[in-house]
Amino acid sequence: MNRTRVVSREEWQATCANLLVKEKELTRQRDALAAERRRLPMVRVDKDYRFEGPDGEASLLDVFDGRRQLIVYRFFFEPGVARWPEADCGGCSMFADNVGHFALPHLHARDTSLVLVSRAPQADIERFRKRMGWTIPWFTTTDDFSRDFDVPDYFGFNVFLRDGDQVFRTYFTNGRAAEAIGSVWSFLDLTPLGRKEIWEDSPEGYPQNPPYAWWRLHDEYDA
């Protein structure tokens, strides 16, 4: 290994300060992209998609679990893939591990559900889910859902908004975009309503409140 130069503390601080300027600019660019994402047009979903879950058959509306926003990660776990039936493609499990055990309560507090979908039968999903210790709800696709939403193979994120009984597709991404997604903030930045905090550049009339005001310990939201 060839190390970088060893310098004085003063030179190191000056170099880090210059890098920090670029990092802050990147943060502002990410915020601007999220603001643009919140202004994307949307497409109404009229088809009746069906899934199998741990509690039986479910519609796309059921998958929202009563919340207004839904993030669906197409998890590549099915016959013919990689180490089936023992494991998935590898990249998808890396994503699920990055989500952590306690992201869901914070997402739910922002009226947002996160789920996985795969072609694998529920028995295989449950076996693998227990082995890996994941708590993210995981459904089996039983129709053309993955094909219709651009993930017939491989993986990807689809984001949906519910308005009463109407469902709209608002965003899609795949590939290396998944590397940067895993924190509560990164998930909310994918959604049409965003983090719903007053500093965000959102369309007029979007629900917003002060930062920190809605934050709770993950086991205190119900209270």
Residue 143's pLDDT is 96
Whether residue 186 has pLDDT greater than 80: yes
Q: CA of 66: how far to CAs of 61, 71, 162, 211, 220, in Å?
A: 8, 13, 9, 24, 20
* pLDDT for the residue numbered 208: 96
Band of residue 112 on the pLDDT scale cut at 50, 70, 90? very high
Query: And the tokens for 213?
Result: 């005001």
Banded pLDDT at 100 (limits 50, 70, 90): confident
Residues 62 and 70 sit within 8 Å (Cβ to Cβ) = no
Domain annotation for the chain: domains and CATH numbers:
42-188 (3.40.30.10)
The C-alpha atoms of residue 135 and residue 124 are separated, in whole angstroms, by 15
Question: What is the model's pLDDT at position 82?
Answer: 83
Residue 94 has pLDDT above 80, yes or no: yes
Average of per-residue pLDDT across 187-214: 96
E strands present in 18-83: 43-45, 50-53, 56-59, 69-74
- Over 90: is that where the pLDDT of 144 sits? yes
> Residue 177: what pLDDT?
84
Q: What tokens were used for 218?
A: 């993950």
Residue 223 has pLDDT above 80, yes or no: no
Closest CA to 70 of 136, 139, 159, 163: 159
In this prediction, residues 29-33 reach a mean pLDDT of 97
Residue 130 backbone dihedrals phi, psi, to 5 degrees: -65, -40
Predicted confidence band at 179 (pLDDT cuts at 50, 70, 90)?
Answer: confident
Q: Specify whether the CB–CB gap between 112 and 69 falls below 8 A.
A: yes
Percent of the chain with pLDDT over 90: 91
Looking at residues 121-140, what average pLDDT do you find?
A: 96
Tell whether the model's pLDDT for residue 165 goes beyond 90. yes
pLDDT of residue 13: 98
Three-class secondary structure of residue 161 per DSSP: strand
Give the CA distances from residue 115 to residues 62, 137, 154, 168, 210, in Å, rounded to whole numbers and listed in that order: 12, 5, 16, 16, 27
> Of 180 and 140, which is predicted with more confidence?
140
